[in-house]
């Protein structure tokens, strides 16, 4: 826990697992105030240092992806932009990555539960070890961050939405400024699903899922609501994952989803063959450090998706 002074602390007991504008705010804040949010991991603490793959099959899905909040911002009105400045993260030092049956880009190919536990340096100075196969530089961010939608009723927290939510964008870390469209009075901001590291695509369905505290400053830009979230980053990826180059596989064809699956499946094959990894381990490791990219989407009728795995993970 950080010892900075905050206008408010939102404790992790104040969490919810669905977007609903009828949820009463746990705190009312003024624009410009900095708040400390205590965020639970995506399993809501169901996965511990004693867990194994069987515990993945026993997860209570109603507790998945809790977010801390909501917070009411004075003066926020529909049509405004909520300006979210993401500050420092205080990580717990424990995390997990899993293959969850029925979930992930290659769910049809990886049907058995698998769990990898991480005990990492909470100061983030050292990369985190993935069993005996490699070390992953850490870059904490909030996987789920958003405001309440105007539509009434309860909306699942799993799909991302035009008001934010479970976007799993690894750039939503310290120093980034995010703009969200306000749709209800007070905005009703919530945050959770903190990750210690993730690759673009989060291909196996999980990152390094890890409880953390995070500093957030909330402000308003009147009448400037974006149609969907936008953000400004503060600089290059601090992990330096490109300094040793990449192994890159591709998928090529007329369907972007098929091409993405092909690129990822071919990287599983490559890492298994070249580095002696079990396919399940390769799949999970790829999810926390490799980046899925659209390389070309103009040369009809075929598009190119590439999957870039940083070689320095194996140093």
Residues 150-188: pLDDT tens digits? 999 999 999 999 999 999 999 999 999 999 999 999 999
Distance, in Å, from the CA atom of 302 to the CA atom of 256, rounded to the nearest integer, reads: 9
Least Cα distance to 250 among 274, 223, 270, 234 occurs for 270
Same domain, residue pair 147 and 75: yes
Q: What is the pLDDT of residues 66-106, one digit of tens each?
A: 999 999 999 999 999 999 999 999 999 999 999 999 999 99
Domain encompassing residue 305: 246-314
| Residues 224, 257 within the same domain | no
Task: Please state the separation of Cα 266 from the chain's center in Å.
Answer: 24
281: domain CATH number?
3.10.28.20
- Tell me the angle at which helices 256-275 and 279-289 cross, rounded to the nearest 10 degrees: 120
Mean pLDDT of the region 237-263: 91
Looking at the domain assignment, is residue 3 inside a domain? no
> Nearest to residue 209, comparing CAs of 69, 103, 107, 109?
103
Whether residues 61 and 147 share a domain: the answer is yes
What does the pLDDT read at residue 1? 45
> What CATH number does residue 160 fall under?
2.60.120.580
Taking residues 209-216, report their average pLDDT.
98
Same domain, 253 and 120: no
Residue 241 lies in a domain: no
Tell me: pLDDT of 120 over 70: yes
Reply yes or no on whether the pLDDT at 2 is more than 90: no
Question: What average pLDDT does this structure show over 257-275?
Answer: 97
Residue with token string 């904490």: 140
Q: Which of 142, 172, 191 is nearest to 14 (CA)?
A: 191
Instruction: Give per-residue pLDDT as tens, 288-303.
Output: 999 999 999 999 999 9
114 with 74, same domain: the answer is: yes
Residue 273 has pLDDT above 50, yes or no: yes
| Kind plus residue range of the DSSP H or E element containing 219 | strand 212-221
**Contact indicator for 122, 93 with CB cutoff of 8 Å:** yes
Listed residues 232, 262, 279: the one ending a domain:
232
CB 307 within 8 A of CB 249: yes
Q: Mark which of 178, 198, 232 sits at the end of a domain.
A: 232
**Given this model, what pLDDT does residue 4 score?**
65
Question: Distance between CA 230 and CA 169 in Å, rounded?
Answer: 11
């Amino acid at each position: 826990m950080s010892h900075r002074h905050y206008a408010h602390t939102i404790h992790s007991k104040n969490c919810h697992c669905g977007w609903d504008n009828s949820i009463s705010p746990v705190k009312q804040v003024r624009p410009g105030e900095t708040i400390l949010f205590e965020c639970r991991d995506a399993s809501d603490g169901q996965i511990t240092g004693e867990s194994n793959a069987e515990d993945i099959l026993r997860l209570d899905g109603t507790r998945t992806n809790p977010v801390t909040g909501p917070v009411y911002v004075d003066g926020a009105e529909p049509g405004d932009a909520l300006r979210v400045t993401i500050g420092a993260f205080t990580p717990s030092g424990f995390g997990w990555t899993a293959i969850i049956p029925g979930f992930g880009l290659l769910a049809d190919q990886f049907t058995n539960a698998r769990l990898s536990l991480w005990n990492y340096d909470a100061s983030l100075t050292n990369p985190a070890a993935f069993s005996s196969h490699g070390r992953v530089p850490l870059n904490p961010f909030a996987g789920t961050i958003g405001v309440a939608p105007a539509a009434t009723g309860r909306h699942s927290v799993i799909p991302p939405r035009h008001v934010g939510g479970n976007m799993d964008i690894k750039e939503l870390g310290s120093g980034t400024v995010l703009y969200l469209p306000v749709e209800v009075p007070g905005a009703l901001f919530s945050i959770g699903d903190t990750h210690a590291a993730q690759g673009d695509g989060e291909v196996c369905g999980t990152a390094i899922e890890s409880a953390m505290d995070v500093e957030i400053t909330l402000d308003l830009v009147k009448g400037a609501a974006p149609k969907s979230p936008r953000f400004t980053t503060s600089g290059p990826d601090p992990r330096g994952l490109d300094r040793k180059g990449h192994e890159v596989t591709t998928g090529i064809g007329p369907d972007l989803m098929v091409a993405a699956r092909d690129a990822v499946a071919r990287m599983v094959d490559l890492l298994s063959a070249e580095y002696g990894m079990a396919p399940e381990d390769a799949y999970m490791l790829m999810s926390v450090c490799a980046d899925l990219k659209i390389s070309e989407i103009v040369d009809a009728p075929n598009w190119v998706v590439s999957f870039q795995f940083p070689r320095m993970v194996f140093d």
